[in-house]
C-alpha cells in the first residue's frame, strides 16, 4: 500500500532510491533497500527478482557472503526465469568460503546458459584449489583460447617444485648445510657447515691429536665433540624445516599465481533493471 | 599469617606434583638465565638477528616442547642466526618485529603429536586474494 502510494505520489520509486545508493557505492544501505523491496513485492515479478539479485550483489560487495547466499537460495526457488543468475550468485558466495565441491556442482547447472563461461571459470579454479588437477585441466581446456585461461592451464599442468624432506635431511646428514644450500639458504648452509666442522674438528683434535693428553684436554675434547654433535643434529632438524618451508612457499606462490590469473577474467554480470 | 603461608605451601606443592618440570628443561632454563644476566650484557645490545632472541627462543622451546625438541630447535636457531637470514624474511619468516626477524618457536615444524604443521600458507592473505576475486 505504502509502496503504491509512494509510486503514485512521486515519480521517484523506492527502487530508484536503492539504485542511487548502489550507484554511489553505499552497498550497505542499498542491500537493505533492495532486500526490503524484493520481499515487499512478494510476487515473482521481474522487478522483485531484480531487487533480490541486486541485494545479493550489494551484500557480496560488502563481504557478507552468508547473507548473500541466503538471498540467492531464496530467489533460486522463486524466480524460475533467473535461476541461472541465482545459481551464479551462490557460486560467487560459496567460492571464497572454500566450498569448492559445491561450486563445481552448481557450475554444472550453468552449462548451456548465458553464464556458462563464468561458471566454467569458477569451476576450473575451484577444482584446481580442491586439488583435482585432472578435472581442472579438463575445464581449463575450454578456456585456453583466452590468455589467462591458457596461462592457468600451463600452470596447472606443471607439477609444483617440491623438495623431499627425507632427501634434504640425508644431504645434511652426510654434509652439514648441504640440504639448506639445496633449498637456497646459503647463509644457513655456510653457518651450519662451519660451526659443525669447527666444533667437531676441535673435539677430535683435543681427543686424538693433542700432544698434551692431560685430563683437561680430554674434557675439552668431549665438550667440543658433544657440541659438534648437537650442531650436527640441529642442522638435520633445520634441513627438514628448510624443505618443508620451501614446499609451503612454492604452494603459496602457486596459489597466488592462480588467484592473479583468476582476477584477469571478467566475471562480473550486469543486472539489468526490467 | 602462618595459615596463609601453609595454604600457599600446600598449593605450590600440589602444583609441582601435578605438573613436574623436566629436570633437563629446568637446567637449560637456569643456564640460559645465567647467560642472559651475566654474559649477554657483556656483548652489547642488539647482536641477534631474530625476535625472540636466540636465548629467549631457546627458553621458550624448552618450556613448550621439552628438552629433546628444545635442544634441536636451539642449535638449529644458532645455525640460522646469520646476516643471510634477512634475505629470507619475505619467503620463510613472518615479518620483522622490533627491527629483528620475527621467528617464534611455534612457527617451526614439529611432529603432529606436539603440534600440527605451522601452516605458513598465510590464511589471511589468501582470504584477501579470494575477496579480491569475488568483489
How far from each other are the two terminal CA atoms of chain A, in whole angstroms? 21
**A191 contact residues in B (CB cutoff 8 A):** 79-82, 84
pLDDT at A26 over 80: yes
Give pLDDT, residue A195: 95
Domain limits of chain B? 2-134
Rounded mean pLDDT of A168-192?
A: 95
Residues B109-130: tens digit of each pLDDT? 888 766 644 444 444 444 444 4
Longest alpha-carbon distance in chain B? 68
Q: How many whole angstroms separate alpha carbon A190 and alpha carbon B21?
A: 36
Place of cell 605451601: B9
pLDDT at A226 over 90: yes
CA distances from A176 to A137, A202, A235, B46 (A): 41, 16, 6, 28
Nearest Cβ partner of B130 from A96, A241, A267?
A: A96
Residues B14-44: tens digit of each pLDDT? 444 445 567 777 888 888 888 888 787 777 7
Better pLDDT: A198 or B25: A198
A108 phi/psi in degrees, rounded to 5: -60, -30
Q: How confident is the model at residue B90 (pLDDT cuts 50, 70, 90)?
A: confident
Q: How confident is the model at residue B3 (pLDDT cuts 50, 70, 90)?
A: low
Q: Are A207 and A225 in contact (CB under 8 A)?
A: yes
Give pLDDT, residue A203: 92
Give pLDDT, residue A236: 96
**A148 contact residues in B (CB cutoff 8 A):** none
Place of cell 643456564: B31
**Residue B102 DSSP SS3:** strand
Residues A115-146: tens digit of each pLDDT? 888 899 999 999 888 888 888 888 888 887 78
Give pLDDT, residue B79: 94
Give pLDDT, residue A15: 82
Better pLDDT: B94 or A103: A103
Task: Strand B96-97: give its sheet, edge to edge.
Answer: B50-51, B100-102, B96-97
Better pLDDT: A231 or B124: A231
pLDDT at A37 over 80: yes
Q: What is the gyration radius of the CA atoms in chain A, in angstroms? A: 31
Give pLDDT, residue B127: 46
A134 Cβ neighbours under 8 A, 6+ residues apart: none
Q: How many whole angstroms separate alpha carbon B99 and alpha carbon A156?
A: 39
Q: Are A132 and A105 in contact (CB under 8 A)?
A: no
Beta carbons of A185 and B88 less than 8 Å apart:
yes
Cross-strand bridge partners of residue A18: none
Give pLDDT, residue B15: 45
Q: Are A225 and A200 in contact (CB under 8 A)?
A: yes
Rounded-to-10 torsion of CA B13, B16, B17, B20:
-160
Q: How many whole angstroms separate alpha carbon B108 and alpha carbon B103?
A: 8
**A259 contact residues in B (CB cutoff 8 A):** 126, 129-130, 132-133
A135 Cβ neighbours under 8 A, 6+ residues apart: A104, A127
Residues B57-89: tens digit of each pLDDT? 999 998 888 889 999 999 999 999 999 999 888
Better pLDDT: B94 or B56: B56
CA distances from A228 to A123, A180, A186, A201 (A): 54, 18, 20, 8
Cα dihedral across residues A178, A183, A186, A191: positive or negative: negative
Interface test with A, best of B54, B71, B78, B79 (most A CBs within 10 A): B79
**B108 contact residues in A (CB cutoff 8 A):** 241
Q: How confident is the model at residue B51 (pLDDT cuts 50, 70, 90)?
A: confident
Q: How confident is the model at residue A5 (pLDDT cuts 50, 70, 90)?
A: low
Q: What angle do CA B84, B87, B90 make, to 5 degrees?
A: 140
Give pLDDT, residue B125: 43
Domain limits of chain A? 2-160, 165-257
Cross-strand bridge partners of residue B97: B100
Nearest CA in chain B to A253: B121
CA distances from A4 to A33, A41, A52 (A): 16, 10, 19
Better pLDDT: A5 or B96: B96
B75 Cβ neighbours under 8 A, 6+ residues apart: A230, A231, A233, A234, A235, A237
Nearest CA in chain A to B90: A249
Give pLDDT, residue B126: 42
For A2-160, CATH gives 1.25.40.10
CA distances from B122 to A248, B90, B108 (A): 10, 12, 14
Listed residue (A66, A153, A125, A73) closest to B133, CA to CA = A125
Q: How many whole angstroms separate alpha carbon A122 and alpha carbon A190?
A: 46
Rounded-to-10 torsion of CA A208, A209, A215, A216:
-120
**To the nearest whole angstrom, how far is the Cα of B18 from the nearest Cα of chain A?**
31
Amino acid at each position: 500500500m505504502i509502496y503504491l502510494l509512494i509510486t503514485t505520489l512521486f515519480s521517484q520509486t523506492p527502487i530508484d532510491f536503492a539504485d542511487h545508493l548502489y550507484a554511489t557505492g553505499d552497498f550497505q544501505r542499498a542491500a537493505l533497500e533492495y532486500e526490503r523491496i524484493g520481499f515487499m513485492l512478494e510476487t515473482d515479478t521481474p522487478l522483485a527478482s531484480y531487487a533480490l539479485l541486486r541485494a545479493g550483489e550489494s551484500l557480496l560487495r560488502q563481504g557478507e557472503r552468508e547473507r548473500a547466499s541466503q538471498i540467492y537460495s531464496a530467489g533460486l526457488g522463486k524466480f524460475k526465469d533467473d535461476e541461472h543468475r541465482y545459481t551464479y550468485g551462490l557460486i560467487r558466495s560459496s567460492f571464497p568460503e572454500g566450498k569448492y565441491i559445491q561450486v563445481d556442482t552448481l557450475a554444472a547447472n550453468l552449462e548451456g546458459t548465458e553464464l556458462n563461461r563464468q561458471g566454467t571459470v569458477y569451476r576450473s579454479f575451484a577444482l584446481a584449489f580442491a586439488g583435482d588437477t585432472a578435472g581442472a585441466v579438463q575445464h581449463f581446456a575450454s578456456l585456453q583460447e583466452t590468455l589467462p585461461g591458457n596461462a592457468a592451464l600451463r600452470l596447472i599442468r606443471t607439477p609444483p617444485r617440491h623438495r623431499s624432506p627425507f632427501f634434504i635431511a640425508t644431504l645434511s646428514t652426510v654434509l652439514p648445510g648441504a640440504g639448506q644450500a639445496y633449498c637456497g639458504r646459503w647463509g644457513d648452509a655456510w653457518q651450519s657447515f662451519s660451526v659443525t666442522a669447527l666444533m667437531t674438528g676441535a673435539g677430535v683434535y683435543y681427543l686424538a691429536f693433542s700432544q698434551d693428553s692431560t685430563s683437561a684436554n680430554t674434557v675439552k675434547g668431549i665438550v667440543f665433540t658433544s657440541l659438534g654433535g648437537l650442531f650436527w643434529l640441529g642442522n638435520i632438524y633445520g634441513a627438514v624445516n628448510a624443505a618443508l618451508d620451501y614446499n609451503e612457499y612454492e604452494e603459496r606462490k602457486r596459489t597466488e599465481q592462480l588467484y592473479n590469473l583468476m582476477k584477469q577474467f571478467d566475471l562480473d554480470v550486469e543486472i539489468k533493471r526490467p | 599469617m602462618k595459615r596463609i603461608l601453609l595454604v600457599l605451601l600446600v598449593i605450590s606443592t600440589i602444583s609441582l606434583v601435578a605438573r613436574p618440570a623436566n629436570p633437563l628443561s629446568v637446567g637449560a632454563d637456569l643456564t640460559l638465565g645465567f647467560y642472559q644476566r651475566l654474559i649477554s650484557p657483556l656483548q652489547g645490545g642488539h647482536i641477534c638477528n631474530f625476535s625472540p632472541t636466540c636465548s629467549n627462543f631457546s627458553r621458550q622451546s624448552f618450556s613448550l616442547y621439552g628438552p629433546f625438541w628444545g635442544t634441536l630447535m636451539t642449535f638449529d636457531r644458532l645455525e640460522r642466526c646469520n646476516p643471510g637470514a634477512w634475505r629470507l624474511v619475505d619467503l620463510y619468516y613472518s615479518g620483522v618485529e622490533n627491527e629483528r626477524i620475527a621467528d617464534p618457536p611455534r612457527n617451526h615444524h614439529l611432529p603432529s603429536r606436539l603440534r600440527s604443521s605451522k601452516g605458513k600458507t598465510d590464511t589471511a592473505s589468501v582470504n584477501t586474494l579470494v575477496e579480491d576475486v569475488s568483489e
